[in-house]
């Protein structure tokens, strides 16, 4: 629909009530309200009638102790009108929370304003008193606030209400050269509007994605002064919800979005809305700064290396030494402490970008072919080449060319200390930067099921009292190993054991007698050994003994992915496979009663499981190999995926029946 028509339509729909002096948007008309019913929006907690964001860079003047301070200011305004269908929505929308920095403390406060009103089903309108808008100091240092939070509960809110929240926030003496805005939300959205107003004479590049889905903006000239230039307006309708589901594509990848990048602040100057400028600017300001000195190299064990040949093994050792020298922060910044490497060595703490910069500096010192890489972690989403901004990326990596092979070293906490390329870097697109500029690179090829393997081996002993003792070995490679490292980074051994024990009981084992694990920080695999009794004993029926197998990995995966109602495609993040193996020593005097049939089961996305059963006089061996070679499984095939999981589990959970051999009386294991 033509944007102008849309604008008028939205005004028409919202014009049913008298204009309010304080609120920038009117409440929905009665005609529209009649359409907003749970029957029309099945299985939804709420529907967003209007989601509107306005972003403006303007000039502002602030009076401070008799002096007028003039400078740029970022002004953000937001409006939300939402109809609530159930208590869960009331709970979710019933709290307002907004954090912001306060760089100048109480000296010059960033202004914040909010307005809230509720349209009840009866037609009454209730406006929240301003005194109930609560702002607190969320962080302070030495008595001075450095961050504030606006947090309050919205009173008088019930199912069936239409809630309107508007707020405006200004960040003094701030500029932004780029921004990305998302049109979708967690709930269905009828109208999603975006206004961007930039200073006059700014030359700006706008990009909307996906291409072809978002119409061109409506442009209006507000003023020719620097402080207020042209306003660009976009409006989308009827956007499906992107709920927070397990195994789903990140919101930022799915949502429609529009980005702005200021190319030139005035008619002169260098063009900035391009990767070349961003890369050169970053390199100039953050790379080739402070250097690692000889003493630091000596502490790392790499003194006097300039004249030595540096191959893969040395580079790996350097990576390991840096990982062992420093404790990594949980959160990363793209910007390294490149002007003060000494502080990183002194404190023994840094983030991934700090360490990448140090490794880069050292390799540069050794005249190696090395570049800096901007990494956007695929676990957070992908970056868009058509939107050149450093905002996409969360950390630096080091791209080293050794003997013609390129290796990207990443200091993420989940990567083993003895470096191995993790699954989330394989096939990843990165931006590589050096003194000559930038290039896009794809790191190797995407991970396959060979890269991500979960192995679970059970050795079962049937005891005299019919209990079943299980010695389990987990060996995880790839995503399983990386998740373990990330989740347990910095934890003491006893805490990890406590976590593992809690994980295994009571579903996999009734109690855990022992748990141990390898040097997972350094090894590329994670090995865990544990032992305990199964929750269920074997059963004696006449001359037969019956028992079932258990497993953790596949059952846990099924529990996590299960849902009765899938709204978006499944995204497994990476292909993987699971090897489950059981070995059961046959008790003395027993033989296998029925050989279970082998089975192959297939599922959507070429998912497949192969169940094999083998027995001889002494042992039963069962294996089940399950593979998921494709990452995306369309939501329309989700029921088939659940059926595949259930059928495979049903096969694993079959009864194993042993028969007492004639003349034998009591069960003892071999």
Q: Which is nearer to another protein, 326 or 378 (CB)?
A: 326
- Counting contacts by CB under 8 A, is residue 153 touching another protein? yes
- Based on the shown chain and the rule CB under 8 A, indicate whether residue 42 belongs to the binding site for another protein: yes
Q: Which of 167, 247, 151 is nearest to 573 (CA)?
A: 247
> Of these, 186, 365, 507, 573, which contacts another protein (CB under 8 A)?
507
Site pattern 459..488 for another protein (x: CB under 8 A): --------x---------------------
Q: Considering only residues 13-32, where is the footprint of another protein by CB under 8 A? A: none
Give the C-alpha distances (Å, rounded to integers) separating 348 from 317, 323, 327, 487: 18, 10, 6, 21
Pick one of 516, 650, 661, 668: the residue that binds another protein (CB under 8 A).
650
CA–CA gap between residue 15 and residue 13 (Å, rounded): 6
- The nearest distance, CB 295 to another protein, in angstroms, is 18
- Residue placing its CB nearer to another protein in the complex, 159 or 200: 159
d(CA 141, CA 135): 17
- How far apart are the C-alpha atoms of 282 and 583, rounded to whole Å? 57
Among 1, 175, 546, 632, the residue binding another protein under the rule CB under 8 A is 546
Instruction: Give 73 or 651: the residue with its C-beta nearer to another protein.
Output: 651
Q: Which residues pair with 118 in a beta bridge?
A: 126, 163
Please report how close the Cβ of residue 140 comes to another protein at its closest, in angstroms.
5
598 DSSP 8-state letter: P
| Region of 216-224, 371-379, 524-532, 537-545 interacting with another protein (CB under 8 A) | 537-545
Q: With respect to another protein, which residue has the nearer C-beta, 1 or 127?
A: 127
Min. distance of Cβ 187 from another protein in angstroms?
11
Distances in Å between the Cα of 340 and the Cα atoms of 94, 287, 300, 428 are 45, 12, 17, 30
Using the rule CB under 8 A, give the single segment among 109-117, 408-416, 557-565, 608-616 that binds another protein. 557-565
Cβ nearer to another protein, comparing 44 with 222: 44
Among 123, 212, 506, 663, which residue sits at the site for another protein (rule: CB under 8 A)? 506
Q: Which listed range, 109-117, 152-160, 194-202, 210-218, lies at the site for another protein (CB under 8 A)?
A: 152-160
State which residue, 140 or 290, has the beta carbon closest to another protein: 140
Shortest distance in whole angstroms from residue 87 CB to another protein:
5
Rounded to 10 degrees, the C-alpha dihedral 313/434/425/315 comes to: 10
- What are the two backbone dihedrals, phi and then psi, of residue 395, each rounded to the nearest 5 degrees? -165, 170
Q: Does 492 bind another protein (CB under 8 A)?
A: yes
Stretch that binds another protein, among 144-152, 294-302, 424-432, 474-482 (CB under 8 A): 144-152
Among 224, 312, 349, 560, binds another protein (CB under 8 A): 349
Nearest-approach distance from CB 286 to another protein, in angstroms: 23
Cα angle value 32/37/41 (rounded, 5°): 105
Shortest distance, CB of residue 498 to another protein, whole angstroms?
Answer: 8
Give the number of other Cβ atoms within 10 Å of residue 141's Cβ. 9
Asked if 151 interacts with another protein (CB under 8 A), we say yes
Instruction: Note whether 327 binds another protein by CB under 8 A.
Output: yes
At 508, which helix (H) or strand (E)?
A: none
CA distances from 491 to 25, 115, 199, 410, 524 (A): 51, 45, 50, 21, 18
Residue 39 contacts another protein per CB under 8 A: no
Instruction: Work out how close the CB of 465 gets to another protein at its nearest, in angstroms, rounded to a whole number.
Output: 8
> Strand, coil or helix: what is 660?
strand
d(Cα 359, Cα 312) in Å, to the nearest integer?
14
**Binders in 413-432 for another protein, by CB under 8 A:** none
β-pair partners for 664: none
276 belongs to the binding site for another protein (CB under 8 A): no
Distances in Å between the Cα of 22 and the Cα atoms of 25, 28, 384, 452, 582 are: 9, 16, 39, 56, 69
Any idea which residue has 């790839």 for tokens?
A: 478
Closest by CA to 59, choosing from 207, 172, 195, 191, is: 172
Rounded to whole angstroms, the Cα distance separating 88 from 410 reads 41
Count of other CB atoms within 10 angstroms of residue 385: 12
C-beta of 533 vs 573, nearer to another protein: 533
Q: In which residue are the tokens 């009108």 written?
A: 81
What spatial distance separates the first Cα and last Cα of the chain, rounded to whole Å? 77
Print the binding letters for residues 564-603 with another protein: x by CB under 8 A, - otherwise: xx---------------------------x----------
Q: Does residue 654 interact with another protein by CB under 8 A?
A: yes
List, in sequence order, every residue forming a beta bridge with 182; answer none if it has no partner.
Answer: 257
Q: Residue 368's Cα: distance from chain center in Å?
A: 34
Long-range CB pairs of 488-492, under 8 A, 24+ apart, other chains included: 488/520, 489/328, 489/330, 489/413, 489/414, 490/327
Among 137, 200, 599, 610, binds another protein (CB under 8 A): 137
Residues in region 71-130 near another protein by CB under 8 A: 85-88, 90-91, 94-95, 97
The single residue among 511, 519, 522, 619 that binds another protein, judged by CB under 8 A, is 511
Least distance between another protein and beta carbon 466 (Å):
9
CB 146 → another protein: shortest distance, Å? 9
Told to check if 562 binds another protein by CB under 8 A, we report yes
For position 544 contacting another protein by CB under 8 A, the verdict is yes
Q: Give the binding range for another protein (CB under 8 A) out of 163-171, 214-222, 601-609, 644-652.
A: 644-652
Please state, in angstroms and as integers, the Cα–Cα distance from residue 66 to each residue in 73, 102, 109, 505, following that order. 20, 21, 16, 68
Residues that bind another protein (CB under 8 A): 38, 42-45, 85-88, 90-91, 94-95, 97, 134, 136-142, 149, 151-153, 155-158, 327, 347-349, 467, 490-494, 498, 502, 506-507, 510-511, 535-537, 539, 541-542, 544, 546, 548, 562-565, 593, 646, 649-650, 653-655, 657
């Amino acid at each position: 629909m033509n944007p102008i028509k849309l604008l008028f339509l939205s005004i028409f729909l919202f014009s049913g009530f008298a204009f309010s002096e304080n609120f920038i948007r009117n409440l929905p008309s009665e005609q529209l309200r009649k359409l907003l019913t749970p029957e029309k929006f099945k299985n939804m907690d709420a529907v967003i009638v209007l989601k509107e964001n306005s972003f403006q860079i303007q000039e502002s003047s602030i009076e401070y102790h008799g002096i007028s301070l003039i400078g740029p200011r970022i002004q953000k305004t937001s409006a939300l009108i939402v109809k609530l269908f159930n208590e869960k929505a009331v709970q979710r929308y019933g709290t307002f929370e907004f954090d912001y920095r306060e760089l100048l403390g109480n000296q010059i406060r960033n202004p914040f304003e909010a307005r809230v009103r509720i349209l009840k089903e009866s037609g009454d309108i209730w406006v929240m008193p301003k005194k109930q808008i609560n702002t607190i100091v969320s962080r302070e240092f030495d008595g001075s606030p450095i961050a504030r939070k606006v947090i309050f509960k919205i009173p008088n809110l019930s199912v069936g209400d239409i809630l309107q929240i508007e707020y405006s926030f200004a960040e003094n003496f701030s500029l932004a050269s780029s921004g990305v805005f998302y049109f979708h939300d967690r709930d269905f959205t009828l109208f999603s509007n975006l206004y961007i107003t930039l200073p006059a004479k700014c030359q700006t590049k706008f990009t909307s994605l996906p291409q072809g889905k978002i119409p061109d903006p409506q442009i209006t000239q507000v003023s020719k002064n620097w402080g207020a230039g042209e306003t660009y307006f976009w409006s989308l309708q009827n956007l499906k919800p992107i709920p927070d589901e397990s195994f789903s594509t990140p919101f930022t990848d799915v949502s429609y979005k529009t980005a702005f990048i200021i190319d030139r602040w005035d008619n002169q100057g260098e063009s900035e809305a391009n990767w070349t400028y961003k890369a050169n600017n970053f390199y100039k300001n953050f790379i080739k700064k402070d250097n690692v000195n000889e003493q630091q190299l000596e502490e790392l064990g790499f003194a006097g290396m300039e004249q030595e040949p540096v191959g893969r093994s040395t580079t790996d050792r350097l990576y390991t030494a840096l990982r062992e020298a420093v404790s990594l922060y949980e959160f990363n910044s793209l910007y390294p402490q490149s002007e003060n490497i000494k502080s990183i060595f002194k404190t023994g703490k840094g983030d991934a970008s700090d360490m990448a910069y140090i490794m880069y500096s050292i390799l540069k010192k050794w005249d190696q072919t090395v570049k800096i890489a901007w990494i956007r972690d695929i676990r957070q989403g992908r970056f868009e080449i058509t939107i050149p901004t450093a905002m996409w990326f969360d950390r630096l990596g080091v791209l080293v060319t050794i003997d013609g092979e390129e290796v990207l070293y990443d200091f993420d906490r989940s990567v083993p200390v003895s470096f191995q390329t993790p699954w989330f870097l394989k096939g990843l697109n990165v931006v590589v930067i050096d003194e000559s500029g930038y290039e896009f690179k794809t790191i190797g090829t995407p991970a396959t099921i060979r890269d991500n393997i979960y192995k679970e081996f059970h050795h079962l002993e049937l005891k005299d009292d019919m209990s079943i003792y299980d010695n389990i070995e987990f060996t995880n490679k790839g995503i399983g190993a990386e998740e373990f490292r990330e989740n347990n980074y910095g934890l003491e051994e006893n805490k990890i054991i406590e976590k593992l024990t809690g994980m295994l009981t009571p579903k996999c084992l009734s109690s855990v007698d022992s748990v141990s694990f390898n040097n997972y920080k350094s090894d590329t695999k994670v090995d865990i050994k544990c032992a305990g009794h199964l929750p269920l004993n074997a059963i004696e029926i006449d001359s037969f003994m019956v028992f079932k197998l258990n497993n953790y990995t596949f059952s846990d995966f099924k529990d996590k992915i299960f849902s009765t109602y899938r709204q978006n495609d499944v995204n497994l993040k990476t292909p993987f496979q699971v090897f489950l193996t059981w070995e059961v020593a046959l008790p003395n005097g027993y033989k296998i009663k029925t050989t279970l049939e082998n089975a192959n089961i297939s599922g959507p996305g070429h998912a497949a499981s192969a169940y094999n059963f083998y027995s001889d006089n002494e042992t039963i061996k069962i294996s089940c190999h399950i593979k998921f070679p494709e990452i995306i499984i369309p939501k329309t095939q989700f029921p088939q995926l659940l059926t595949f999981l259930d059928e495979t589990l049903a096969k694993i959970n079959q009864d194993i029946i042993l028969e007492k051999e004639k003349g034998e009386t009591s069960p003892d294991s071999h």
